[in-house]
Homo-oligomer: A and B are copies of this chain.
Amino acid sequence: MLTDLGIAAAEAKRSLAVATTEDKNRALKAIADALIEHTDDIVAANDIDIKNGEDNGMSKALLDRLKLDADRIEGMAQGVREVISLPDPVGTVLKTFVRPNGLKIDKVSTPLGVIGVIFEARPNVTSDAAALCLKSGNVVILRGGKEAINSNKKIAEIMREAVESTGMNKNVIQLVQDTSRESSTALMQMNEYVDVLIPRGGAGLIQAVVKNSRVPVIETGVGICHIYVHKDADIDMAVDIVDNAKTQRPSVCNAAETLLVHRDNAKAMLAAIKKRLDEKSVEVMADDDSIAMLKEDAETSGDMALIENLEKATEEDWATEYHDYKISVKIVDSIEDAIDHIYKYGSGHSDCIVTNDKMAADKFMDNIDSAAVYHNASTRFTDGGEFGFGAEIGISTQKLHARGPIGLPELQSFKYKIYGEGQVR
């Protein structure tokens, strides 16, 4: 019964919330060591998942995500070790103030309590999420996809034993063993026991959680990111940024999906960008104006490659996260048009302006309401590691509580400690 996990979590969270940094780091070290020590067991369990996946016709890409070998397990252990080196976010005095009546008030960071993490077929999330939650003083209830259940069970078992070997309550890490749709729904209804749910996965999973959860949710993931190239932008810089944002890792949420180019410099800009994208075989879905410009350019220059891999964009393209070597391109008449387009189609994740005009940059960055707004840098930097947070449990695209990379400090709530000498109202 899922309720049993909730009750066990409620009990475990009390001691974990006040555990010392040393205790937590000792448990994390035990987890990292145990993962390495039990590499063969994990690989054996993972083999079952891989075989089941193959039998069920799972795609090569998904099988690759699911696969664990000694190297990847070493990577998981290394991830846990990195969390040891991060500062303990619990108990930070965020603010102190003294009231006229003499009351002294400390605002102090505290763990959220119990965090539910719902994820799909990547078994490494099991150790990632567990390590971040443990360090931040939060009990974690993990609910992975059925595709990885054998791997997840084995990893969770190893982590729980490791935690217990250091004298900590093993229920600070729990795995939902039942991977039916019902168990997922039940977890979303457990607001009595679970303080926050973090879904990690595709848009379908995230929307299902947002729609059905009674537990507060931190929404993650969907990124329709834009690069807007202003009229005065440096061409080389724009080409490098678009190339990097689109092609360095197209499958992630901070990759660019749409390029907006100011009309005044569009001809030269488009041709240069298109040439670079061709080197990476990027398919371009373009509006009529872009196509016309590229055609004209191709005819003038004789470089017919400019109009290959080029198709007319539909309304749907502007709202699509391709996750692929594919980009939508549009000419805009002004920075206002660019901002309007991003308001209409963006997902509030990461958007960039390339310009040498500081005022234009400020206007863009003030008006675009996204978790991360960039001036002259690739959107690919929206990442806990790149921000210096050390590790992240996801990228929040909502505005409540956490926005952008969710690191250890974002896994905290706070409380007020009020010191008096008998004050009454």
**Residues of chain A whose beta carbon lies under 8 Å from any beta carbon of chain B:** 14, 17-18, 97, 99, 103, 105, 110, 112-113, 191, 195-196, 210-211, 214, 216-218, 234, 237, 240-241, 243-245, 248, 343, 365-367, 369-378, 380-382, 386-388, 398-401, 403-404, 413-425
Contacts and interface: CB of A to CB of B under 8 A. Distances in A.
Contact of A97 (B18, B388, B399): B388
Contact of A424 (B244, B371, B399): B244
**Copies assembled:** 2
Contact of A369 (B369, B386, B415, B423): B415
Contacts of A103: 377, 381
Contacts of A234: 422
A404 B400 contact: no
B367 A18 contact: yes
A366 B18 CA distance: 7
Contact of A399 (B195, B237, B388): B195
Contacts of A416: 371-373, 382, 387, 403-404
Contacts of A248: 424-425
Contact of A386 (B99, B367, B388, B403): B99
Contact of A376 (B216, B243, B420): B420
Contacts of A399: 110, 112-113, 195-196, 413
B216 A216 contact: yes
27 contacts: A14-B343, A97-B387, A97-B388, A99-B386, A99-B388, A211-B214, A237-B422, A241-B422, A241-B424, A244-B424, A245-B424, A248-B424, A372-B418, A373-B418, A375-B418, A375-B419, A376-B422, A377-B421, A377-B422, A377-B423, A377-B424, A378-B424, A380-B424, A381-B425, A386-B425, A401-B401, A403-B414
Given A241-B422, A420-B376, A425-B381, A371 B195 contact: no
B380 A216 contact: no
Contacts of A245: 424
A245 to B, nearest CB: 8
Contacts of A195: 398-400
